[in-house]
Structure 1
Amino acid sequence: MTGHVLTFTGTALVAVYVLDAEGAELRLAETVRNAGRSYALPARYPLSGRSPVTDAFHDGRPLWLTPTELAAYGPTGPTTPETPTTPGVSLGVLPLGGDGKGLGCLVVVDEAPDGIDADRRGFIELYAHHVAAGIEAAGPQALTQPHPDLPGPTLDRLRVGSFVLHLGSGRMTADTQVLELFGIAGEDFDGRVETLLTVAVPDDVPALMSVLEPDVLTSGTAQLEFRIRRPNGELRWLGLRARVETGPDGTPRRMLGVVAETSYLRPRADEVSLVQRLSAALAGATTVRDVGRAVVGALRDPLGAGRVAVAEVQADQLVVGVLSPAEPAAWPEVWRSAWRSEWPEPPSHALPTLAEALREGQVSIWPEGSALEPGLAGIGPGGLAVLPLPADGRIVGVCLIGWERRHEFGPEERSLLTATAGLVGQALVRAHALDAEHELATMLQRSLLPRKLPELPGGVAVTRYLPATMGLEVGGDWYDVIPLADGHVALVIGDVQGHSAAAATIMGQMRTAIRAYAVEGHPPDVVVAHANRLLVGMETDLFATCCYADLDMEEGEAWFVRAGHIQPLLRHPDGTTEELDVEGGPPLGVVADAEFPMTAAGLSSGTLLALVTDGLVESARLDLDEGVRRARQALARADPADPGGVADELLGGHSRRDDDVALLLLRYDGMRVRPTRASWTVWRLPDAVMHARRFTARTLRNWGLPDELDVALLVTSELVTNALVHTRGEVRLNLTLTADRLRIAVNDPSPRTPVKPATVDWEATGGRGLLLIEAMSQTWGSVPLSGGKQVWGELSLSSPREEPPSGPPPEEPPEGPTDAEDEPWTRGARGRRGRRARR
């Protein structure tokens, strides 16, 4: 087949020289002669010497020599058995491989006494491009093996044909090889371009016409790959390279073209599927680590590689995203010494060969035994491929693939690695940007959620929040745990529609509003109704779902309200699970006057209560019922002794998420020692503080707390005095005893929060009440109540109680003055109260 090209161009011999592995000489790889010709060429040309072949290789430009010019080089050209010195022939030498690749040279010998004319030079140059492409795909070793058995385009494997298109008449002269490549019989070809276009795949016809149509031709060289359908239905890839010659006036005169089969350069079906799988995996990669995992999963096992590394290039540093295997012992010392965190970050100057490959930006392959520094040789002792990852006109990363045993690099694999590098580079840039955006979105989301959960008497609460991975915008899922009065706690979970900054804003507003309504002391249905009216009044197009639970930690009684949200899940102490049937109302923000009924449920000690958002149990690939079933199974098999482990078990397998996932899990244990409470209405009498102190003293003695009596009486005096002096209306004193602390609280009808003075004039007659409360209490505070507030202080018990106090409740003191058991304290309280009243 190559001989046919030689006949067409009139040359007597064609040979290919390739650069040896050491880069010291050009070695003769293959020779094809015309019939009856006995020319021979030297087996090698040292690059240090001077010859037509080495000159053309060094200059990177074709060299065309007449017999006289060739003779000036001395005995470095072709010979014959009869003529040991250079005979009177012309020589053409064409360097193979542009852009500094330096693959070798194509050498042609011609018997024309005046040198190779321009027409034949054009054909030979076009032919040389196909030879270079074949050698680059197969690798020089495919031609330099003593008995080559590697696949690849040696000269007599190349299927090349030539044609001339006369632009004035539109007629084409094509050799038989062109017609055979197109699948057209010689007698059926009428010399018209349209005849060739009829067998081309319709999608490729416009590109072919842009090259072959006489009315759209321009001067210069054109090349393209296209597909044709042969008569037997076979699809074949052809490559066309053509050059337009112009006349003296610059008008295109004719086109010289070469057509070659390039099917061997196309990836096989299994390689196409590999690239498709990699592309699909990279499409869903939103982090740099996801990109690395996709590359490892797509390439390591199919290629039989021992090691794969994917890293970003940042300044002089390689920022590794994924190493496989991930054990430091599997990597060379340069990598182990830079292993200061999860992955190593070796400086690129420690790997000079790698740095050079990154500067060149070309896929580099080193076979077994290549002279590499230890940091690279240890990655692939049987062969190493370095894939610079290009994107946006620069090298953004690198992928290293190493083999433990001898690995032969075929042309298909080279094409595969080149295609892979481009895909991974673009995915790496995209993932790097998404990483930054996702980090910002996650930071915003988490700033709107509780930083930590309160400690609960009689239970343990844990939460989990996972942002969506299939998208970057912040979501509207939220949760909250709100301690309430009298041993109650509110558990809230919700989800605002959509993923956007607006959804996150609404989420933050709804969480704040529900917390405020709950702390004010409203029942669950009122809390949710108020939040609904608030969202309707915002005039937003978004709505929200919510599930609210008010749980009495003493009795285990819970009241649930559901607004368009998923049902709560329960795990009973015996391991059985249940989807709690909570009567629901519409989502928040839909109907202003919507009603939200309450559903009661009792929890026994050891029960797990799970509130979730739909991202956990529903997705495009998971039906809601199936998702709830899986969540119940995970609850059933989890160990309730570890609530955090239960939460992780519920989230298991959610590596790719279409939606945010929020989870609020409570293990209800019940209180070991139930709180004991006593309360008394403070009458507005001259001796009201004394009666409040008498009530506190009787109660604490009845509860067996004589050690805390003095401090408790002082705190009671100050709280009650402040309420009577600064408010109007009913004042109520509440005492609560838990296992380790005493809480003294006073309710009054004023919503104003007491303010502790910044400075105190010690000669003044007032202003020290809150300072005394703060000094004597372990903690103190003020919470709003419906129609007023509660100011409280807590005292730690000197010895925690194991059992609740027994005995009858204390008697309520009479309304008038009586014998004071604590006369010194009583006089002090009355004196302070009188001075404050005068002020």
Structure 2
Amino acid sequence: MGDARGTGGEGGAAALDPLLIRTLQEVGAAATTVYLLRPGEEVLWLAVASRHLAEVLQPWGRVALTTPTPGTDAVVGNELIWVNGQEELARRYPRVALTLPYRFALAAAPITAGERRWGALVVLWSSHPPRLTRRERARIGEACTHIAELLQRAEESGRPIVPGAHPHQLPEPEARSAGPAEAIAAVDFAERLPQGAFALDVVGRMMFVNGTAAELLGRPRAELLGRMPWEALPWLDDPIYEDRYRAAVFSQQPVTFTARRPPDRLLEFELYPDSRGMSVCVTPTTSGGGEPIPDDGAAGGPSRVGAIYQLMHLAVTLAEAASVRDVFDLIAEQIGPAFGAQGLVLLLTEGSRLRIVGQRGYDPGALDVLDVTSPQAPTTPSQYVLVNGVPAFFSSPEPLERIYPGITRITGKSAWAYLPLKVSGRPVGCCILSYTEPHFFPEEERTLLTSLAGLLAQALDRARHFDAKQELAHSLQESLLPTVLPTVDGLEVAARYVPATTGLDIGGDFYDLIPLDATTSAAVIGDVQGHNVTAAALMGQVRTAVHAFAAAGAPPGRVLAHTNRLLTDLGRDLFTSCLYVHLDLKTRTACLASAGHPAPLLRRARGRVDTLEIEPGLLLGIEPDVEYPTVEVSLPPDAVLTLYTDGLVETSDTDLDDSIAHLAGALAEARYDSIEELADILLGDRRRAGPLGDDIALLLLNVR
């Protein structure tokens, strides 16, 4: 069943088996998984899993590094992540806790070699004291080192270990073999027990059933052996019972539940798991034993709890997808592979037409037939299902060819699921999953895909609104910031605006360059409080006011004072920091005034950097009558005056003064041929410090 491809030694990922088994034994853990990065991808693939976890972890078969999980955090942060139980898991990783609601502790550690990131090793315990011991940390670290070495050797040999569509299942240590006489004695022992007893293998199939159990379950042994309990016994076909089974599998702890065998007989099931399977005792009872008993008929549908957990996982994941691109990537990376599909097309309604917004597994030209107009007059299956609102499943080419001749030849596929996407009766689009070979869609899968279509429709509807807001934000931002700064003889200028990585992509950071006469210009930079349309609109008003007062010939302190008076008169509840610079290109001097703005930096020709100490006045918009002191500095040849907003220096874990000193150091050490290149160097240095928590505006001025 293993499918981690590449060979790196005999058997590909199986080469890791001895090392992983030894690690489990040394740290006393119940299970392990190995996630690997494929070359060129920022996605962790489940490459190896303990056999009893392979199915349970199916929704987590591929995890983008941007998804918060213990494994991804271990890889990104290059550190061991310890989670001591379900409560901590729910607090730190709620999405993981929602889809794996079981008792366990885990450690996730990065598999690295030098600068190379290979993936993560995850080790799980059914229970564990609150802290890892030094010995356990050391053993896990040693295991990661050895795994990295093995992966490196495999790659250098030309036979890399690459994760495949399904994880390699870690074999269990060999069980003690019983001789014929001992085996017969064991069967006789089980048959003499007053209670029912049966054994499940690692995937849940009944491999032994004693006579009492067969009688209590109401089926001959021949109808039970080789089948899962919820398949052989309709009254156990309920998610709540399979969930109890999964809880025992994942936690490796005993679990008890009570079920009603129709019409009214209560049976208590006691599950005793280990890594090789499960022993189950079943006895008659007169109470629910503390476990809820489903109402009669509650199980009646075909749903499997595994499918429900998968749907829960996808629901949570879809809730985190912001843009239409995010939703499509999620479908392509998780949903398509989860259903074994080789092709995917996502179409959205756009006015009177269906437009393809993403596809995988097709030649681009093959999809022209799907990018169509007028869904009100169906000419393709995607239009038909959208008009009728009912999914269509084609298990083989023939039925579709009879309705839409030629479509199978054009698309090159042999089975399809067409899922209409509607929200409150309003069409949003259509999702098409396709298969290169005929594919039978059982009722359970059709039910799950139909439910999934509803989740996709809601996610896409939210994503379209998000994209529309983003487009509005970009348009507003571009209209309020100068598209091109004016050219001024004798002055070299570089400007950058970078939005924060979180929140609505619009803010109040601004900059401007204002020619005043043949030898003087003004430069201004500022930051309006907030990240919303109101902040952006106020930023536009500040820019306009500064322009007007500067053009009227007011000195720097008066420009800020007049602008401040205007803002207080407007009665806005947002405040603004601002730095105004009057440049005299003839005398090579700058006169500066500040309204609570970070101090500018001056880089001299030989690399020395000075922080220009300006007495900052009050932020604009707080008090109406405020004076703003000015300071005059000389600008030596090839000096660069650096104006910036606080997003360039603020990080969550560094003191502001230290951050400004770091910026000064980066400015001093920079080697560049133009200040455009210098601007990119400074922004690159900030990005390496961590995610942006605020917008950045940067304005560099060089008086030649």
Structure 1 length normalisation: TM-score?
0.43
Aligned to 1:512, the other structure's residue is in SS state helix
Unaligned runs of at least 5 residues, structure 2: 1-224, 239-259, 271-281
Q: What is the correspondence of 1:342-741 to structure 2 with a 5 Å cutoff? A: 352-367=380-395, 371=400, 381=413, 383-403=415-435, 417-465=449-497, 475-499=507-531, 502-568=534-600, 582-604=614-636, 606-615=638-647, 618=650, 639-641=672-674, 643=676, 646=679, 650=683, 661=695, 663-668=697-702, 670=704
Q: Using the alignment, how far apart are the partners of 2:318 and 2:498 within structure 1?
A: 26
Q: In the TM superposition, what whole-angstrom CA distance separates every residue of 1:731-785 from its partner, at most 9, and x where no partner exists?
A: xxxxxxxxxxxxxxxxxxxxxxxxxxxxxxxxxxxxxxxxxxxxxxxxxxxxxxx
Q: Distance in 2 between matches of 1:390 and 1:346?
A: 18
- Tell me, what secondary structure is at the counterpart of 1:650? helix
Counterpart for residue 327 of structure 2:
291
Which is greater in Rg? 1
Question: How far is the alpha carbon of 1:515 from its aligned partner?
Answer: 1.7
CA distance in 2, matches of 1:461, 1:633: 19
Once the two structures are TM-superposed, the CA of residue 587 in structure 1 deviates from its matched residue by 1.0
In the alignment, what sits opposite 1:264?
Answer: 304
2:319 to 265, 276, 279: 279
Query: In the aligned structure 2, how far is the partner of 1:431 from the partner of 1:443?
Result: 18
Kept in 1: contact 2:378–2:387 (CA 8 A): no
Paired with 2:354 and 2:658, the residues of 1 have a C-alpha distance of 44
Closer, same or farther: CA 264–294 of 1 in aligned 2, 3 Å:
closer
Structure 1 residue 545, shift from structure 2 partner:
0.9
Answer whether contact 1:571 1:636 (CA < 8 A) is retained. Answer: no
**CA spacing shift, 1:603–1:288, aligned 2, 3 Å:** farther
**Residue 319 to residue 260, structure 1, CA distance change in 2 (3 Å):** closer
Q: Distance in 2 between matches of 1:571 and 1:405?
A: 66
For 2:526, give the aligned amino acid: G
The aligned amino acid for 1:353 is: P
**Are positions 1:312 and 2:348 aligned together?**
yes
| Aligned CA distance change for structure 1 residues 368 and 161 (closer, same or farther; 3 Å) | closer
Structure 1: stretches of 5+ with no match in the other structure:
1-148, 163-173, 190-194, 201-227, 229-237, 242-257, 339-343, 671-839
Q: Which amino acid aligns with 1:543?
A: F
Structure 1 residue 575, shift from structure 2 partner: 7.0
The one-letter amino acid paired with 2:304 is Y
Q: Please give the per-residue CA displacement for 1:551-570, whole angstroms capped at 9, x wherever unaligned.
A: 23345433332222234356
Local SS of the residue matching 1:318? strand
Residue 291 of structure 1 aligns to which amino acid in structure 2? V
Shift of 1:534: 3.1
Residues 504 and 532, structure 2, Cα contact 8 Å, conserved in 1:
no
The whole-number CA distance in structure 1 between the counterparts of 2:314 and 2:502 is 23
For 1:181 and 1:395, how far apart are their aligned partners in 2? 48
Partners of 2:328 and 2:668 lie apart in 1 by: 33
Q: TM-score, normalised by structure 2?
A: 0.51
- Return the letter of the residue paired with 2:676: P
Counterpart of 2:356, as a letter, is: V
Map of 2:210 onto structure 1:
none
Q: Indicate how the Cα distance of structure 1 residues 427 and 276 shifts in structure 2: closer, same or farther if over 3 A, else same.
A: closer
1:520: how far off?
A: 2.5
Q: In 2, distance between residues paired with 1:581 and 1:376?
A: 73
Q: CA deviation at 1:528?
A: 1.7
| Mapped partners of 2:348, 2:227: distance in 1 | 34
- Counterpart of 2:417, as a letter, is A
Q: How far 1:396 moved relative to its partner?
A: 0.8
Map of 2:245 onto structure 1? none
Equivalent position amino acid for 1:159 in 2: W
The answer for the alignment partner of 1:799 in structure 2 is: none
Is the Cα–Cα contact under 8 Å of residues 610 and 663 in structure 1 kept in the other structure?
no
| C-alpha displacement of 1:367 | 4.4
How has the CA–CA distance of structure 1 residues 186 and 543 changed in structure 2, closer, same or farther, with 3 Å as cutoff?
A: same
**Could you tell me which residue of structure 1 aligns to residue 291 of structure 2?**
199
Displacement of 1:428 after TM fit?
Answer: 1.9
Distance 1:261 1:321, change over 3 A: closer
1:528 partner SS: helix
Q: Compare relative contact order (CA 8 Å, sep 6+) and give the higher one, 1 or 2.
A: 2
Aligned match for 1:331, one of 358, 364, 367: 364
Q: Please list the CA deviations of residues 404-428 of structure 1 after superposition, one character each: whole Å capped at 9, or x if unmatched.
A: 5777767776565444322221122
Note if contact 1:368-1:406 (Cα within 8 Å) is conserved in structure 2: yes
Maintained 8 Å contact 1:631/1:650: no
**How many Å separate the matches in 2 of 1:590 and 1:434?**
33
TM-aligned CA deviation for residue 538 of structure 1: 3.5
Task: Quote the offset at 1:379 in angstroms.
Answer: 5.3
> How has the CA–CA distance of structure 1 residues 420 and 610 changed in structure 2, closer, same or farther, with 3 Å as cutoff?
farther
- Judged with a 3 Å threshold, the aligned counterparts in structure 2 of structure 1 residues 497 and 154 are, in CA distance, closer, same or farther, namely closer
Contact 2:397–2:438 (8 Å) recurs in 1: no
* 1:108 equivalent in structure 2: none
Please report how far the alpha carbon of residue 484 of structure 1 lies from its aligned counterpart in structure 2 after TM superposition: 2.0
SS at match of 2:553: coil
Shift of 1:483: 0.8
SS in 2 for 1:584: coil
Q: Which amino acid aligns with 2:552?
A: E
The 1:360/1:176 distance shift into structure 2, 3 A limit, reads same
3-state SS of the aligned residue for 2:487? Answer: coil
What do you get for the CA RMSD once the two structures are aligned?
4.9
Q: 1:552 to 1:611 in 2, by over 3 A?
A: same
Q: Distance in 1 between matches of 2:570 and 2:596?
A: 19
Q: Give the letter for the 2:489 counterpart.
A: P
What is the deviation of 1:577? Answer: 7.0
Cα distance change, pair 240–557 in 1 and its aligned pair in 2 (3 A): farther
**1:14-29 superposed matches below 5 A:** none
Secondary structure of the equivalent of 2:307? coil
- 1:128-277 mapped onto 2 (5 Å cutoff): 156=232, 158-159=234-235, 175-176=261-262, 179-180=265-266, 188-189=285-286, 199-200=291-292, 228=293, 240-241=296-297, 259-260=299-300, 264-267=304-307, 272-277=312-317
Q: Does the Cα contact within 8 Å between 2:319 and 2:459 map onto a contact in 1?
A: no
Letter in 2 for 1:299: I
Deviation sequence 1:443-492 (CA, Å, 0-9, x none): 44444444542111123434444667855596433322111235222111
Distance 1:266 1:622, change over 3 A: farther
- Contact residue 379 and residue 402 of structure 1 kept, 8 A: no
Shift of 1:531: 2.1
User: Percent identity among equivalent residues?
Assistant: 32
Partners of 2:560 and 2:410 lie apart in 1 by: 65
State the AA in 1 paired with 2:456.
V
SS at match of 2:485: coil
Q: Deviations over 1:66-113 (max 9, x none)?
A: xxxxxxxxxxxxxxxxxxxxxxxxxxxxxxxxxxxxxxxxxxxxxxxx
Counterpart CA distance in 2 for 1:324 and 1:577 is: 52
